[in-house]
Amino acid sequence: MTEEDARERILSAADELYYRKGYAAVGMDELRSAAGVSLRRLYALFPSKTDIVEAVLVRKHAEWESGLTGAVADAGDDPRDRLLAVYGYLEDWFCTDSFRGCAFINAFGELGGTSPEIADIVRNHKASFQQYMAGLVTDAGAPASLAAQLSILAEGAQSTAAISADPKVAVQARGAAEILIAAAVAA
């Protein structure tokens, strides 16, 4: 097995285990076993658990951006439809059997108070989402303040859907987004 193969196996196993069980609940031995690598190889590639968590979050960020931008692109050229596609993307995600909330919010809740590196990754991810929403809002010709409102709505939907186990939260968030967009564009 190449170094890249081992790294991928470790990150895939860590991603699945951390998301399903929590970051603190998964030990290095369980991760090693799930990845099918030796403990020595695991530590050679990732000297600490924080290194693995950071790599998993970087990977999650890339997956999030790819999925979100793909959903928005599929919505077509209408700026309003592109903004609302964010909530369609959330609904699709919330309907998956594996949905356990936002990995970044989960990481921040578990590790953000003790790991400044993890807290920074989470903050950068959330700032990136806000910047993306700001671009969509600008394209729609709406006031800049709408971006923060729609972002907060999406973030709240993620937390609420995870706690309630109800994917319809995304539909409710989309309805609220439609009202906010209409009011902002009319103003």
Alpha-helical (H) ranges within the chain are 3-21, 28-35, 39-45, 49-74, 79-94, 103-111, 116-139, 145-164, 169-186
pTM of the complete model: 0.93
CATH ID of 57-186, from 1.10.357.10, 3.40.50.1220, 2.40.110.20, 1.20.1270.10? 1.10.357.10
Superfamily of domain 1-47 in the CATH hierarchy: Homeodomain-like (1.10.10.60)
Q: How far apart are the first and last CA of the chain?
A: 60
pLDDT in tens, 132-183: 999 999 999 999 999 999 999 999 999 999 999 999 999 999 999 999 999 9
Q: Residues 6 or more apart from 93 whose CB is under 8 A from it?
A: 67, 99, 170
> Is-contact 31 48, C-beta < 8 A?
no
> Is-contact 88 173, C-beta < 8 A?
no
Question: pLDDT band for position 187 (50/70/90)?
Answer: confident
